Every structure is written in C-alpha cells, then in structure tokens.
C-alpha cells in the first residue's frame, strides 16, 4: 500500500524567497555584501580568542571594548560568539556576519508564521502579517550589516519568537531553552519570561492538566535555562570576577569618561525622542531623516498595532488577564530600555524597540476573537514597510 505523502506547506519557503529578494535589492542599492564579514566584528574576535584559549581580544579602535586589568574584552553578552565559533574556525576573520543576521531575521518571520497558523490565522494572512510585522520595523536596516550590536538583537529576536512558537506547540522545554539563550544575547529579554510562562500555564490549567503535571513538564526547561544562566555567570566571573558583569561598566565611556549607563535621568530625553519624536528634521530648507532615532510608534508599527488593540480591547470590555500581563510586561521592558543612556545610538528609528516585538506577536496570538485582520492594520504595516525600506537605503553603517 502506497502511503500518501504529507502535503508540504509552501509558505515558509515562499517567505524566505521574498525576504531574500528584498535583501538582494537593498544590498545592490546600498553596496552592502549579502554574505560577507562586518568590520564591526567583536563577536568574531571573541570566538577567535576562545579558539586560542583565552577570553580577551586585541584592541580595535572602531569597536566598543571593555578595559579590565589592562586587557580588552567584548562588552556584550556572549551567545553570538558561540554561534560564530565554527565559522571562525573555518573562515578566521572572514565570518559571514551579513548572512547570519539575515538568517536570524528570516527565521523569526517563519517562527511567527508557524505560531499564527497554529493558533487561528489562515495561512496567507499569517504569512503576510508575519512578513510585515517583522520587516516593517527598525530591524530591517540592521539586517544589511552583521555588526556586533545588530547581531545580538537579531539573534535574540529569532530566539524569543521561536520560544513563542514552541510555547503554542506545547513544547515548553525547548521554548524555555530558546528563551534562556535569548537572555544570553539581550539580558532585558528576561522580562519576556513573565507572559511566556503565564500563558502556557494558563492554557494547560484550562485544558485540565493537573498542577503536578504542569510542574513536571516545566522542570526540564527550567533546568536547561538555569544551565545557560550558570554558564553566562561563570564566563562573566572568569573575565570580570563578577557573575553579573558583562563588561559594559568597563567601557571607557562609563568607567572613566563620566557617562552613566543606566539612570532615571536618561528617561526624559529618551521619552522625548523615542515616544514623541518625529522622524525628520527641517534643516537648510529641506527635510532630513533623524540619525539618532525617533518614535517607536512610527519605527515599529506592529507595536502601535498592539497598543491600539489593547485600548480597543479595554473599550469593548474583552480584556483578559493574559493580555493585561503581556501589556504590563511590555511596559516594564520598555521602561528598562528607557533607562539606557543612548537607546541604541546611531540608528533608524528605535533600534532597542526591536527587542519588544515578541510582545506584539504574543498579544496577537491571544486575540482569539479576531477573525480577520482589519484594513487599518494592513495599511499601517504596509506604510511601515515602505518607510523601513527607505530608512535602510538612506541610513546604514
């Protein structure tokens, strides 16, 4: 008896082709390399240092390096160097940074598609919403250059979106593992644990799973997550004799030039720029794109969609505990980002707000009564994509 072949879903491959085509066009316009290395290669330097049996790196004037006890260290969480390790062994300094960051972003789109499809959306709608929500944001310009700052954000987005998808598939062990790895790239992603674990526990409890079985199902994921945390702590201790120190406090701008990395005093300026700020300056009689950020509501339209949906849910009295927890977690994460001195520095839009996209994805998954994406949402995301493409062309490293 001939077994029927399982029908293959063509949408993930189609999404990859569409996104790759967009990147090829952008690379041709901007002169970027689709595959090549980035000169901002801190993670490659760190991977090569591991291969040589030590944790410090050689000084490079264009990189943000921590200085501790006379040696230079990469001042960012180490996970991207783990990914780069085999590439550094094969290619040395010529690691395919620009390709890897594209793979991370593309995987985030596919993970989100799979989650939306699994919950309720039709495949075509899920594919289009996934593509627009990820690519019509400050993430798109980042994917043209696999620089140290951008790699960490794109990798963390892939991992958090993967964790959201695995949660919807009831594969919580691997969801928690991917979540823990994301924290090893972007520490403030720790906040996402609150809605992620709450949603999963609620869904299991509502499905009649006993509390003891819920704990049993969570235990392996917690063990893997604690293992990741322990590994990071040990690595930090080996370098800086402090398990909680990644090295930022030993950057020259914070260690002896008088800057403060995180402070309540930064909130005012950051809020003025990244909540209320418009994207253009009027100078010399012409408009020019602001090169140090503007409102996240414009830069990342899917976050605007989430906020509008939240108030609509309140007004229509269909708010529930899970959506409220997701929104509150988003606000906590955003507040922590506002404490940072630069909020990402030179950037299109609001680079740090790329870390917040998984909250919008999770909120969307919780809107079970939404049968069809409203027209205003498509228009907003479509305009956001056009603006992100424009930003990618006129503003890049």
Say if 308 falls within a structural domain. yes
| Residue 103 falls inside a structural domain | yes
Which residues span the domain enclosing 19? 11-275+289-394
Residue 243 lies in a domain: yes
Query: For 153-209, what is each residue's pLDDT tens digit?
Result: 999 999 999 999 999 999 999 999 999 999 999 999 999 999 999 999 988 888 888
Q: What is the pLDDT of residues 132-150, one digit of tens each?
A: 999 999 999 999 999 999 9
| 354 within a domain of the structure (yes/no) | yes
Q: How many CA atoms lie within 13 A of 376 on its CB side?
A: 5
Distance CA 182, CA 26 (A): 28
For 34, the 3-state DSSP assignment is coil
Among residues 247, 256, 360, 254, which one has the least CA distance to residue 305? 360
Model confidence band, residue 219 (pLDDT cutoffs 50, 70, 90): very high
Residue range 373-394: mean pLDDT, rounded: 95
Q: Which residue has the higher pLDDT, 372 or 303?
A: 303
1 confidence band (pLDDT: 50, 70, 90): very low
pLDDT at 258: 63
CA distance 304 to 197: 24
Residue 3 lies in a domain: no
For the chain, what is the domain count? 1
Length of the chain measured in residues: 397
pLDDT at 4 over 60: no
- CA angle 150–79–262, rounded 5-degree value: 65
Residues 377, 390: Cα–Cα separation, whole Å? 20
**Is the CB of residue 264 less than 8 Å from the CB of residue 339?**
yes
Residue range 242-281, pLDDT digits in tens: 999 998 889 887 766 667 888 999 999 999 999 999 999 8
- DSSP three-state, residue 74: strand
Contact 199, 163 (CB under 8 A): no
Residue 113 lies in a domain: yes
Which pLDDT band holds residue 395 (cuts at 50, 70, 90)?
Answer: confident
Residue 83 exposure: Cα atoms within 13 Å on the Cβ side: 25
Dihedral sign from CA coordinates of 313, 179, 67, 242: positive
7-36 confidence digits (pLDDT tens): 789 999 999 999 999 999 999 999 999 999
Q: What is the pLDDT of residue 205?
A: 86
Q: Residue 101 falls within a domain, yes or no? A: yes
SS3 label, residue 363: helix
Mean pLDDT of the residues in the chain: 92
Out of 96-105, 281-290, 355-364, 379-388, which region has the weakest mean confidence (pLDDT)? Answer: 281-290
- Buried b / exposed e over 151-190, threshold 16 CB at 10 Å, is bbbbbbbbbbbbbbbbbbeebbbbbbbbbbbbbbbbbbbe
The DSSP element (H or E) to which 111 belongs, if any, is: helix 97-119
Residue 376 belongs to a domain: yes
């Amino acid at each position: 008896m001939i077994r029927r072949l399982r029908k293959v879903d063509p949408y993930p491959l189609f999404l990859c082709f569409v996104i790759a085509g967009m990147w090829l066009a952008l690379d041709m316009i901007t002169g970027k390399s689709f595959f090549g290395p980035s000169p901002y290669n801190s993670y490659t330097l760190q991977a090569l240092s591991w291969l040589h049996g030590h944790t410090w790196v050689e000084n490079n004037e264009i990189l943000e390096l921590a200085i501790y006890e006379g040696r230079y260290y990469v001042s960012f969480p180490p996970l991207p160097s783990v990914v780069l390790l085999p590439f550094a062994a094969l290619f040395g300094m010529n690691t395919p940074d620009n390709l890897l960051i594209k793979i991370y972003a593309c995987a985030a789109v596919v993970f989100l598609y799979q989650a939306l499809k699994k919950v309720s959306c039709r495949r075509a709608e899920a594919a289009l919403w996934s593509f627009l929500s990820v690519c019509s944001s400050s993430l798109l310009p980042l994917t043209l250059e696999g620089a140290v700052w951008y790699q960490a954000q794109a990798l963390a987005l892939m991992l958090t979106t993967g964790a959201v998808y695995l949660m919807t598939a009831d594969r919580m062990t691997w969801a928690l593992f991917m979540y823990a790895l994301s924290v090893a790239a972007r520490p403030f992603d720790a906040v996402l644990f609150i809605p992620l674990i709450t949603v999963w526990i609620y869904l299991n409890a509502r499905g009649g799973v006993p509390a003891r079985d819920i704990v049993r199902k969570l235990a392996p994921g917690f063990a893997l997550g604690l293992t990741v945390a322990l590994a990071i702590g040990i690595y930090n201790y080996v370098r800086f004799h402090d398990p909680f120190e990644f090295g930022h406090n030993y950057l020259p701008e914070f260690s002896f030039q008088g800057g403060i990395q995180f402070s309540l005093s930064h909130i005012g300026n950051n809020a003025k720029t990244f909540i209320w700020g418009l994207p253009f300056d009027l100078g010399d009689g012409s408009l020019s794109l602001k090169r140090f950020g503007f409102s996240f509501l414009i830069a990342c339209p899917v976050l605007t969609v989430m906020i509008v949906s939240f108030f609509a849910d309140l007004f229509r009295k269909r708010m529930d505990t899970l959506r409220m927890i997701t929104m509150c977690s988003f606000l906590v994460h955003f507040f922590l980002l506002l404490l940072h001195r630069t909020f990402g520095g030179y950037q299109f839009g609001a680079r740090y707000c790329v870390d917040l996209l998984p909250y919008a994805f999770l909120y969307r998954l919780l809107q079970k009564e939404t049968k069809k994406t409203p027209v205003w949402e498509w228009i907003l995301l479509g305009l956001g994509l056009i603006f992100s493409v424009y930003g990618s062309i006129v503003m890049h490293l």
